[in-house]
A and B are shown apart, each in its own frame.
Chain A
């Protein structure tokens, strides 16, 4: 089992906007990989392409050229059953995206019943178990509008985990949270990492990158500028752009 879980091979994505004369290179020949059980954190200034990269992994974002392979299945191949793939790739969004018309429990139960075809009893057992694990077992019957941001994000994480994914993608999962609640969610993510989950995390939380990442990737203008272990990257950035970026945020 030494094939990487995620393989990204020379992907490009260009936008042609009416508002700009030159096309925008959101992804400029990006190649990388994520091994099984590895936690890769992607950082960079806004517009660097990190969210575009993450979203291309589960095909929420299409790419113009290149290949993406997750556990042997080619995401970029039109013939792939993308729904089946997405059931094994969990995604947590910056704005939670909980189903507003369903309770917390229903949010976690519904995908299980519809996609994984589990029975309601099975799905509810798993859901309640996960709500316990993420720390909000008493919120099962609340609607998202009655939950705080941190609670909503926990439900969102539980919803993804209920599908028993091979990979978890986090797209700035704490960027919309109050500073006090950020820590709690990051701890949850760290526990997941320690549990051996393969994770790709886009974040601005450098503390998390330092503590939980196996590898840090720095992106700018659609390309990977530098990548290293957290210790090496934060203590001794090699490129000018990485140094500038770190100077600004740390």
Chain B
């Protein structure tokens, strides 16, 4: 029917730009996850070491990042920082996107890693210390490997949050998926509903495999701890 042919032609004409937008979304979310996880892992481990000042500092960092909307953080990094006049703080939209999203991601990952480390039974580190392992050896060989398994389910959720948060990047003109869709809407204002559905479908194409993969990873590597007798 006419309706379907019409929709198919919309999909055909918008497919390239949307795909390019999805590719940008993929790039930024990948980078943010990698950098954010690196930062988050470091801070998560640091938080559990038992140094009062360090823990308070990290908690302060978390409060700031988790207590404000991502949009506001993005504005500060993209608009406010350059106005300070410091050269290297004047980010272009791509850098601002990656930096802000990485920091935002790290706030989630820090908590996830810290919680996972604390969830490893204390008997594990007691046994390791009892055979003469140092704190560092205990962390590296006994605690962290077991903690990492516990992070798999919540990390999948974080990844999906990051992917969806990239939509916010459209407000700084960054050419990711949502922005690509918005530009398409400006060209074809009559099909606004359908195009939004297309945008959602594209996000789904990205998010669904991620969730499936995480379910597999959970099964393969074991998730919420082993059963102790």
Contacts and interface: CB of A to CB of B under 8 A. Distances in A.
A95 B131 contact: no
Interface in B112-147: 121, 123-124, 126-134, 137, 141-142, 145-146
Contact of B133 (A93, A115, A144): A115
Interface of B: 121, 123-124, 126-134, 137, 141-142, 145-146, 149, 225-229
Given A114-B137, A148-B229, A99 B131 contact: no
Given A99-B142, A100-B146, A84 B132 contact: yes
B154 to A, nearest CB: 19
A68 to B, nearest CB: 15
Contacts of B134: 83
Interface in A182-197: none
Contact of B127 (A84, A85, A97, A114): A97
Contacts, number: 79
Given A58-B130, A87-B131, A145-B228, 13 more contacts: A83-B134, A86-B132, A96-B228, A97-B121, A97-B127, A99-B127, A99-B142, A114-B137, A115-B131, A147-B229, A159-B131, A160-B130, A163-B132
Interface of A: 58, 60, 83-91, 93, 95-101, 110-111, 114-116, 143-145, 147-149, 152, 156, 159-160, 163, 176
B131 A111 contact: yes
Closest 4 CB pairs of A and B: A87-B132, A97-B127, A97-B123, A111-B131
Contacts of A89: 130
